[in-house]
């Protein structure tokens, strides 16, 4: 944890208590290392809101992101007394949700966001939907009007549980002060259990203000929530036979490898058995991208070699992925020669989009160990590995930097990568810049790529960088690679980064277009660039300075390295406005619904 508030002199304050010298209870603070019993003794629960905060403390929550407001005020008032939870006030609730989501991705524990009823809750919706699509562990707490006013269209009343039902793993309406804390604990535990996902607890004011002396119990998942962790022996046996006899085996790591903390096991499995690895976008970093066996990520803008491998493999071992259409292209042509081994903790993902010949339901790491133990020998894939290596040579991710053309965005990404550590964290908005960030940054570690995949939410990058900063180690750099359009959607969060003194570097790849849309218009709408052109964008470097951050503007190749060096060295929020070539397109590209093996390398191939 970086940037965490140092818990204030707890020893003294509890000593003061013991002396009876502490005057008001508001002086008492709790710390992360207290046991639940110590917390209860120190500062007994008196209201529903206090039990909510106690539940968060006991669950180990250390950060929360939110915006105050009428119906959530009791919860904030209870948070006032907690020193183990650092609260970051965001500029907008969407930012709070993205920050909590990214915090969860980096820290590996659920991020927490808070919002008031009505507009506060509806502003969270995009962020909750984003977390849901990417199976990110996150807990949202929303204020609600008192239960006896629910249904009366009261001021700032929204049917929050109704609105969020389809985009949460589960949600709760906690209208009893005695059990509100237990529900919050359960929601926290549930969000990270099995296949992670966002949960929400709606807290009507009567429940949070209501009196109770009940300390919440330990955070446990609902009693009938019992995901399988181990695959059955027969299933493992059958899958192992298929893998042994494969000539062209390919591992496909999905987000489940990262979320299931199975990275080490999965890498070892690949290396031990000499099986090439492609990843999905959420799994970027699960395999070091500079490893011989790594083909980087597959799909619409994935590498040519990953897409060739997927197209020609005869045994696809997919681990923790959901076969999203951006990965598969048209299902009819997806891995058309492959028997599919599918490892997933969520049975509903098995054969949802692509039929699994060998379904293995369980935890990614556990199941890979089971399969490893069952394999009599590795598949004989020497020729196949050679073929994959050949494809890397045939379809290089090269790009030119002609002097007579504007700065190339790919170059900027490579320079940023070179100027930062191997474990630097990258967050992004959505669009071309996101794809270049994924393609030209060489990721080596899990939980260093933080992006909006399933929902594709422009504006994710900056608030995500704030969340990531709080979860990252102090010496880990956090870089947000953003688009001008995406940055404009949530740039108000820069005020938060300044206020909280967060060391993040925002690199805007400014093409004065919503570039990805422009690229599609050129390819599929005969170059009619309707509503894609920004004929005026603000000067982001100056805006950064106005916010109290530092700003640079870069137009030329020879300015790139210096600006990056200064921005990265600056211990606080910085923004570099890179004016890049507006006409550069993202390749390779598989047209929507097209065949992965038919990826285009230039526009005329689309």
Q: Which of 65, 516, 589, 599 is catalytic?
A: 516
Question: Per-residue contact track with another protein, 161 to 190, x per CB under 8 A?
Answer: xx--xx--xx--x----------------x
Give, as ranges, the residues between 402 and 441 that touch another protein (CB under 8 A): 402, 405, 408, 410-411, 414, 418, 440
Among 37, 337, 539, 562, binds another protein (CB under 8 A): 337
Compute the distance between CA of residue 20 and CA of residue 260 in angstroms, rounded to an integer: 47
Which residue number, 175 or 503, has a Cβ lying nearer to another protein? 175
> Is residue 312 within the footprint of another protein (CB under 8 A)?
yes
Q: Which residues fall within 8 angstroms of residue 380, CB to CB, at 6 or more apart?
A: 247
Among 32, 89, 399, 582, binds another protein (CB under 8 A): 399
Outline where DSSP puts E strands in 74-206. 86-89, 111-115, 138-144, 170-173, 198-204
Find the shortest distance in angstroms from Cβ 534 to another protein.
20
> Is residue 288 within the footprint of another protein (CB under 8 A)?
yes
DSSP string, 181-238: HHHHHHHHHHHHSSS--EEEEEEEHHHHHSB--PPP------TT-----S--HHHHHH
First to last CA, the chain: 46
- Helices 432-440 and 515-524: crossing angle, nearest 10°? 100
Kindly indicate which of the ranges 107-115, 218-226, 429-437, 535-543 contains the residues binding another protein, using the contact rule CB under 8 A: 218-226
> Is residue 498 within the footprint of another protein (CB under 8 A)?
no
Question: Per-residue contact track with another protein, 434 to 463, x per CB under 8 A?
Answer: ------x-x-x-------------------
Among 65, 323, 460, 540, binds another protein (CB under 8 A): 323
Find the shortest distance in angstroms from Cβ 190 to another protein.
7
CB–CB of 54/76 below 8 Å? no
Of 298, 281, 286, residue with least CA distance to 259 = 286
Distances, alpha carbon 342 to alpha carbons 89, 250, 317, 351, in Å: 42, 12, 6, 9
Q: Which residues pair with 509 in a beta bridge?
A: 483, 578
Which residue number, 232 or 495, has a Cβ lying nearer to another protein? 232
Region at 69 (left for phi over 0; alpha for psi -120 to 50; beta for the rest): left
| Active-site annotation holds for 516 | yes
Of 530, 273, 302, residue with least CA distance to 397 = 302
- Count of residues of this chain found to bind another protein when the rule CB under 8 A is applied: 85
> Is residue 336 within the footprint of another protein (CB under 8 A)?
yes
Helix (H) or strand (E) holding 326: helix 325-328
The interface partner of residue 456, options being ligand TPP, another protein, none and the CB cut-off 5 to 8 Å by kind, is: ligand TPP
Find the shortest distance in angstroms from Cβ 601 to another protein.
4
Find the shortest distance in angstroms from Cβ 159 to ligand TPP.
23
> Residue with structure tokens 């794809």?
435
Which residue number, 514 or 606, has a Cβ lying nearer to ligand TPP? 514
| Active-site annotation holds for 525 | no
Question: Per-residue contact track with another protein, 350 to 389, x per CB under 8 A?
Answer: xxxxxx-------------x--x-----------------
Our CA angle for 529, 534, 537, nearest 5°, is 170
> Is residue 400 within the footprint of another protein (CB under 8 A)?
yes
CB–CB of 200/334 below 8 Å? no
Compute the distance between CA of residue 182 and CA of residue 168 in angstroms, rounded to an integer: 18
Q: Would strands 294-297 and 277-279 be described as parallel, antiparallel, or unpaired? A: parallel
Among 223, 377, 527, 528, binds another protein (CB under 8 A): 223
The interface partner of residue 69, options being ligand TPP, another protein, none and the CB cut-off 5 to 8 Å by kind, is: none
| Active-site annotation holds for 339 | no
Which residue number, 515 or 597, has a Cβ lying nearer to ligand TPP? 515
Number of CB atoms found within 10 A of residue 507's CB: 31
Q: Would strands 425-428 and 505-510 be described as parallel, antiparallel, or unpaired? A: unpaired
Question: Per-residue contact track with another protein, 232 to 271, x per CB under 8 A?
Answer: --------------------------------xx-xxxxx
The interface partner of residue 431, options being ligand TPP, another protein, none and the CB cut-off 5 to 8 Å by kind, is: ligand TPP
Find the shortest distance in angstroms from Cβ 485 to another protein.
20
Distances, alpha carbon 192 to alpha carbons 138, 185, 195, 260, 355, in Å: 8, 11, 7, 10, 27
The interface partner of residue 173, options being ligand TPP, another protein, none and the CB cut-off 5 to 8 Å by kind, is: another protein
| Active-site annotation holds for 93 | yes
The interface partner of residue 336, options being ligand TPP, another protein, none and the CB cut-off 5 to 8 Å by kind, is: another protein
Where do contacts with ligand TPP occur on this chain (CB under 6 A)? Answer: 429-433, 456-458, 483-486, 509, 511, 513-517
| Active-site annotation holds for 253 | no
Q: Could you tell me how far CA 401 lies from the centroid of its own chain?
A: 32
Find the shortest distance in angstroms from Cβ 21 to ligand TPP.
54
Find the shortest distance in angstroms from Cβ 207 to ligand TPP.
33
CB–CB of 270/287 below 8 Å? yes
Which residues are identified as catalytic? 93, 155-156, 205, 516
């Amino acid at each position: 944890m970086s940037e965490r508030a140092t818990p204030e002199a707890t020893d003294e304050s509890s000593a003061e208590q013991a002396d009876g010298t502490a005057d008001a209870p508001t002086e008492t603070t709790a710390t992360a290392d207290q046991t639940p019993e110590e917390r209860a003794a120190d500062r007994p629960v008196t209201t529903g809101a206090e039990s909510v905060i106690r539940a968060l403390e006991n669950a180990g929550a250390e950060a929360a992101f939110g915006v105050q407001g009428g119906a959530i005020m009791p919860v904030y008032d209870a948070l006032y007394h907690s020193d183990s939870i650092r609260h970051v006030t965001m500029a907008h609730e969407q930012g709070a949700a993205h920050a909590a989501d990214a915090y969860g991705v980096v820290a590996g524990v659920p991020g927490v966001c808070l919002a008031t009823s009505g507009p506060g809750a509806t502003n969270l919706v995009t962020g909750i939907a984003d977390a849901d699509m990417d199976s990110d562990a996150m807990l949202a707490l929303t204020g609600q009007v008192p239960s006896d006013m629910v249904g009366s269209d009261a001021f700032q009343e929204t049917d929050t549980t109704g609105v969020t039902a389809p985009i949460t793993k589960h949600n709760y309406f906690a209208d009893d002060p005695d059990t509100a804390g237990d529900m919050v604990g359960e929601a926290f535990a549930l969000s990270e259990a099995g296949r992670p996902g966002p949960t929400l607890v709606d807290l009507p004011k009567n429940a949070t203000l209501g009196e109770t002396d009940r300390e919440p119990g330990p955070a446990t998942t609902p009693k009938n929530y019992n995901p399988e962790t181990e695959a059955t022996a027969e299933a493992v046996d059958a899958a192992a036979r298929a893998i042994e006899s494969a000539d062209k085996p390919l591992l496909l790591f999905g987000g489940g490898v990262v979320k299931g903390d199975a990275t080490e096991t999965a890498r070892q499995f690949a290396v031990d058995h000499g099986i090439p690895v492609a990843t999905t976008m959420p799994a970027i970093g699960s395999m070091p991208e500079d490893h011989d066996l790594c083909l980087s990520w597959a799909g619409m803008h994935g590498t040519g070699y990953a897409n060739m491998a997927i197209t020609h493999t005869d045994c696809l071992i997919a681990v923790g992925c959901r076969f999203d259409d951006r990965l598969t292209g048209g299902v009819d042509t997806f891995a058309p020669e492959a028997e599919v081994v599918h490892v997933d903790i969520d049975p509903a993902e098995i054969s949802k989009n692509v039929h699994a010949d060998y379904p293995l339901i369980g935890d990614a790491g556990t199941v890979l160990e089971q399969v490893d133990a069952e394999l009599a020998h590795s598949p004989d894939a020497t020729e196949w590995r050679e073929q994959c290596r050949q494809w890397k040579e045939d379809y290089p991710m090269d790009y030119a930097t002609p002097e007579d053309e504007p700065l190339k965005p790919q170059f900027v990404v490579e320079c940023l990568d070179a100027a930062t550590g191997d474990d630097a964290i990258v967050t992004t908005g959505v669009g071309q810049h996101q794809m270049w960030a994924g393609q030209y940054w060489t990721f080596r570690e899990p939980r260093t790529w933080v992006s909006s995949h399933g929902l594709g939410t422009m504006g994710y990058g900056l608030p995500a960088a704030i969340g990531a900063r709080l979860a990252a180690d102090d010496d880990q750099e956090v870089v947000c690679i953003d688009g001008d359009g995406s940055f404009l959607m949530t740039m108000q969060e820069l005020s938060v980064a300044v206020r909280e003194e967060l060391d993040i570097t925002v690199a805007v790849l400014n093409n004065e277009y919503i570039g990805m849309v422009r690229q599609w218009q050129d390819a599929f709408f005969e170059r009619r660039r309707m509503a894609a052109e920004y004929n005026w964008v603000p000067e982001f470097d100056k805006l950064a300075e106005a916010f109290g951050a530092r700003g640079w503007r870069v137009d030329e190749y020879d300015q790139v390295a210096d600006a990056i060096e200064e921005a990265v060295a600056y211990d606080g929020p910085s923004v570099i406005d890179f004016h890049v070539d507006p006409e550069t397109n993202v390749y390779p590209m598989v047209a929507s619904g097209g065949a992965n093996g038919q990826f285009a390398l230039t526009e005329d191939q689309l």
